[in-house]
Structure 1
């Protein structure tokens, strides 16, 4: 019998789904997940640009990952969520440690889900702010 809390099972399942994906390559680790809020962290090391700073594209990958997972959880098992729009503003550099992305639902509709994403360093300072909107649609037959 599985005695793990439902949240623990969801997070473990999401981390297992990372196998073989960009999320695994970037070492994204889910910490919390629900349709309303998704939290994940990612190391700065290995995700830098040539100056040793966190790559802005890495921040966007983290933002899209947490927002898309929130939208997928909102969509449910019979539908999928695909990214439609994302933007990012980079506020400060991160040089080491981990950054944490937190996606908070702005709107959870029948066909669209939008999230505000904040990415912070280990001192709680905002590194990046992003907004992602995902399209929710039925799964393709046989998918």
Structure 2
């Protein structure tokens, strides 16, 4: 994580490491990550499984929302809708999360994934609930 203060962002868990997702920028305004399309993430027809795309969408949105909410508490995803535009078998993918809404109780983030030729592969939206520390 190059543009990230490690005290702001928790270490990725095993699942995120399995996806091969490398966070290159994390802030409350944008999260960027790269990952590799390949056989470990394929569904039976030899393309990246939609669940892998959804997982990347959820991960980037959650990191951004958590950094923005900061010490005020925690955030949890309550909705993830991801659309798929282009099948991918191999190569580097870059996903970018940006906020659409950051309110008192909820946030909405959009995540777009592009291939190495900058073609849109998938686009997801995640709605997150802000859980203030004094209510947990």
Query: What TM-score do you get using the length of structure 1 for normalisation?
Result: 0.84
Find the aligned partners of 2:101 and 2:51 in 1 and give their Cα distance.
25
1:41 aligns with 2:41: no
Query: What TM-score do you get using the length of structure 2 for normalisation?
Result: 0.88
1:109 pairs with 103, 106, 112, which one?
A: 103
Decide whether the 8 Å contact of 1:49 with 1:55 is kept in 2. Answer: yes
The equivalent residue for 1:3 is: none
Once the two structures are TM-superposed, the CA of residue 139 in structure 1 deviates from its matched residue by 3.7
The equivalent residue for 2:76 is: 82
Once the two structures are TM-superposed, the CA of residue 110 in structure 1 deviates from its matched residue by 1.7
SS of aligned partner of 2:98: strand
Deviations 1:95-132 (A, max 9, x none): 11121111111011121111111111111111111111
Q: Where does structure 2 lack aligned partners over 5 or more consecutive residues?
A: none
Once the two structures are TM-superposed, the CA of residue 43 in structure 1 deviates from its matched residue by 1.0
The equivalent residue for 2:130 is: 136
Once the two structures are TM-superposed, the CA of residue 11 in structure 1 deviates from its matched residue by 6.1
Find the aligned partners of 1:79 and 1:16 in 2 and give their Cα distance.
14
CA RMSD in angstroms, aligned pairs only? 2.3
The alignment of Structure 1 onto Structure 2 pairs a total of residues equal to: 135
1:68 pairs with 59, 62, 71, which one?
A: 62
Q: Where does structure 1 lack aligned partners over 5 or more consecutive residues?
A: 1-6
1:28 aligns with 2:21: yes
Find the aligned partners of 1:70 and 1:61 in 2 and give their Cα distance.
14
Decide whether the 8 Å contact of 1:11 with 1:32 is kept in 2. Answer: no
